[in-house]
Every structure is written in structure tokens, then in C-alpha cells.
Amino acid sequence: MSRSALARWFVSFTPSPVSVRWQERLRSCIGALIGIAVTGISMHVLLGPDTRIPLLVAPMGASAVLLFAVPASPLAQPWSIIGGNLVSATVGVACAGWLADPVSAAALAVALAISAMFALRCVHPPSGAVALTAVLGGPAVHALGFRFVLEPIAIQSAALLASALVYHAVTGHRYPHAGRQHADDKGAGNAGAVRPGAANTGITRAELEALVKRRGELLDIDHDDLESLLHEAQMLAYARSASELTCADVMSRNVVSVSRGTRAAAAWSLLRRHQVKALPVTDDTQHVVGIVTRANLVEKRAFGLPSRPKLPLVRWFKRSTVPAPVVGELMTTAVCTVNVGTPISELIPIFANSGHHHIPVLDTYQRLAGMITQADLISGLYRQEQAKARRAA
């Protein structure tokens, strides 16, 4: 091997740049600090200071890295840490009892733990260390037997997971990372269903899953996140080739809106009748003061009364005493809006990173002029490309 080839080989080990912002890095560090502290304190409170059970086991440090530093990873989800740690602890204790040789028991425990985690779909890398701890943890761990699965592994895993759930919720970070939590909301709005042509661009979900399956290896990225990245890349490519488009060119103009005083049941009927997922809320001057979605109504059970009593007289009294909720009580007031002249390239990060799926468009007088969704954006870009192709032909 030549010197230059050897140098290139060493250079290939250079890690890729980390794109995580310093605020997110600090948030992850503080979260891990809190998580491990809460886990140790929980064990101390539950078992007392005189317990011989370890208040913290080393694998929890690795789990904290996943839960707080890379919470979007499939390996960091709740079932991964709970299922992976419990099954690995069980396998490790069993192997320690079956084989007297610690090296043989450790090797078999890790191998069987990986096999079980794959079978149960709870692969969690720190769980391999849990299996090793069960075998190589010393007399104190061996004396616990299968109690090791519950104390300390189950308790510490649950405490660390609870810390992560609370911390991410308090800091406004989505966890668990359920990629489909807004699936019914994506690409829908006052434009209705995705228009012909928009749905035929890019790669489909079925094709994406087939490609991932063809690789035959575990990729540390959720399929929904991968699909979202490809979707964003597609929009960026379109925006680059059609940078002259503005929101006025792609928005839906015939917008169905409601007022603060509209009854929730009426808003629900409008959503269903027009087959949309969100309605802008406007005042008397057509200024946007909020937005109400199907999720707002469903989550707060706003469009119907509780279960109706069977007796007619009781039902009559219930109907007269339960106030009918209105949109102003349920809407989201923090609304992201854009102007008709905003270039569509500025919408890409809003749709991709901010979790918005319906963006009201305002005219020069800051009044409601239209609504734009991901479907509107892609469809407009697609029409632009088709027009360019026809002109070129």
C-alpha cells in the first residue's frame, strides 16, 4: 500500500461535522445530568441508603446519551430502552447461571440479547452492557439472581425514561419521536386532497421502505424522518429551479374561515364538508386571530356532548345545562402567517422544521387572502416545472 493510499485510508476515519446547534448540545447535557441524578435519587428513596443493590449501573449512562442527545433515533424510543434492558438483563442472569466460565457466559449473553432485541423490535445498544453487567457484575449482582431484572434494571430504566419524557416535554422537544403523530394533518388544508401531479412527484413511502429493506441492515433513522428529509430535499430542489414563485402563486384563495364565536360543532361540520384539516379564525376585519384544526376539536372533545343519558327527561336537562363550546375557546392563537409576496423558498424551513402544516397568507393590509399547505407548495412547483418543460419543447 502506497503512502498516499495509506494517508487517504486514515483520512477516511475523520468524523463528519456535527450539525447540532450549541443550544441543543447544552440542552442534551443538562437533560442527561438531570436524568441520571433522578435515577440515582429514585433508587435511594425506593431501596434506602443501606441497600446492597447498585444505585446506578453503568449502562444507564449510555442510555442517557441516546435519550437526551439523540432522542429521534429509533434506538432511543421508550420500548427500546424498557424492552431492551429487561430482556438483556434476563438473558444475562440466565447465562450467568448456566455457564461457569464468565467469558463464555458474557459472549453468549450478548449474542442472545441481540437476537431477542431484534425479535422483539427493541434494539437498544446499552442493553448489551446490561447483559454483560449481569454476568460480570460480581458477587453482589450474582446474589440478586433474577431480582436483578427488577432491581435495579427495571426501576432505573423506568426512572430514566420518565425523566426524559418530562424533560423533553418541558423544553419543548418532541419525544417519544412518533413520526406519524401528524400524519393525518400533513399535506391537507383548504386545498383539500393532494392535486393530480403533486402526488406523482418524488419517491413514494412504499418505494422508500422497499429501498431500506433491500439494504438488509438496521439504519439508525426513523422511516418517517427519512421520508421527511427526502420530501424537504425535493421541495428545496423545486424551489431552486423556480425561485421566482411567491405564496400568491401557489396558495388556495377560496379559504373557508370562522369567527371566534362560531360553535365548535359548526366548525367541525365545515371541516368535514369541505374536507379540510384546519380553519383560520378571523375577526370582523378579516384579520387572522387564530387557527382551529381537527386535532383541537378532537383532543378537547369540543364538537359533541358527553355520552347521552338514556332517559328523555334527564337528556333534556343535560342538553339545557351543558354550554356549547365555541371556536375562540379551542383555537390556537400562536399562528404562523406569511405575506402574498413571500418567496416560496422561505416556506421550506417553516414546513420542515417548525411543525406547521397550514399557513394563512395575508395581503398587503394584513387581511386573510389565502391558505398554503405542503400540498399547495409541491403542486405549484410541479405546475411550474411542467410549464417550463412545455416552453422548452
pLDDT at residue 254, rounded to an integer:
86
Say how far apart CA 210 and CA 175 lie, in whole Å: 27
Report residue 368 as a C-alpha cell: 386573510
Q: How many Cα atoms sit within 13 Å of 50 on the Cβ side?
A: 0
Low-confidence ranges of the chain (pLDDT < 50): 180-201, 304-309, 320
pLDDT at residue 186, rounded to an integer:
39
pLDDT at residue 238, rounded to an integer:
62
Say how far apart CA 262 and CA 258 lie, in whole Å: 6
Domain at 182-393: CATH architecture: Roll (3.10)
Read off the pTM: 0.58
Closest C-alpha among 229, 231, 244, 249 to residue 338 = 249
pLDDT at residue 55, rounded to an integer:
87
Closest C-alpha among 211, 246, 269 to residue 347 = 246
pLDDT at residue 4, rounded to an integer:
79
pLDDT at residue 243, rounded to an integer:
60
Going by C-beta distance under 8 Å and a sequence separation of 6 or more, which residues neighbour residue 375? 187, 188, 189, 191, 193, 194, 195, 198
Say how far apart CA 24 and CA 188 lie, in whole Å: 31
343 Ramachandran zone, left/alpha/beta (phi>0; psi -120 to 50): beta
pLDDT at residue 299, rounded to an integer:
65
Phi and psi, residue 266, nearest 5°: -70, -40
DSSP code, position 359: E
**Terminal C-alpha separation, the chain:** 53
| CATH 3.10.580.10 in the chain, residue ranges | 182-393
350 Ramachandran zone, left/alpha/beta (phi>0; psi -120 to 50): alpha
For residue range 112-158, list pLDDT tens digits in order. Answer: 999 999 999 999 999 999 999 999 999 989 999 999 999 899 999 99
- Beta carbons of 270 and 208 less than 8 angstroms apart: no
pLDDT at residue 33, rounded to an integer:
97
pLDDT at residue 190, rounded to an integer:
45
